[in-house]
């Protein structure tokens, strides 16, 4: 692991932390939903990076692909549900 990767991991952790603050702070349900959508993308990127630094097994990138797809479907479903109607 190079120092650049460590700095990058810290930055990804920072962005996840800021997103979680928004997730907890709200104020509207849509803010929380948007924060969890952002968190999904951040987690996907982290999983891919983790797949590299954990010794080149491409197990985690499969997890990342499935996670990205399920996260997307979940967010769209909840957004349509929150709108009410249609």
Shortest distance in whole angstroms from residue 57 CB to another protein: 9
Shortest distance in whole angstroms from residue 52 CB to another protein: 5
Q: Which of residues 15-34 bind another protein (CB under 8 A)?
A: 15-19, 21-22, 28, 30-31, 33-34
Query: Is residue 51 within 8 Å of residue 57, measured between CB atoms?
Result: yes
Total residues at interface with another protein (CB under 8 A): 49
Q: Does 82 bind another protein (CB under 8 A)?
A: yes
CA distances from 77 to 43, 47, 48, 85 (A): 20, 24, 25, 13
Collapse the DSSP code of 56 into the 3-class scheme (helix H, G, I; strand E, B; otherwise coil) and give the result: coil
């Amino acid at each position: 692991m190079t120092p650049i990767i460590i700095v990058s991991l810290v930055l990804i952790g920072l962005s996840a932390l800021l997103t979680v603050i928004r997730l907890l702070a709200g104020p509207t349900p849509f803010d929380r939903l948007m924060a969890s959508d952002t968190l999904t993308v951040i987690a996907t990127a982290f999983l891919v990076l983790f797949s590299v630094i954990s010794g080149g097994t491409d197990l985690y990138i499969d997890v990342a692909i499935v996670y990205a797809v399920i996260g997307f479907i979940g967010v769209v479903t909840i957004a349509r549900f929150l709108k009410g109607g249609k």
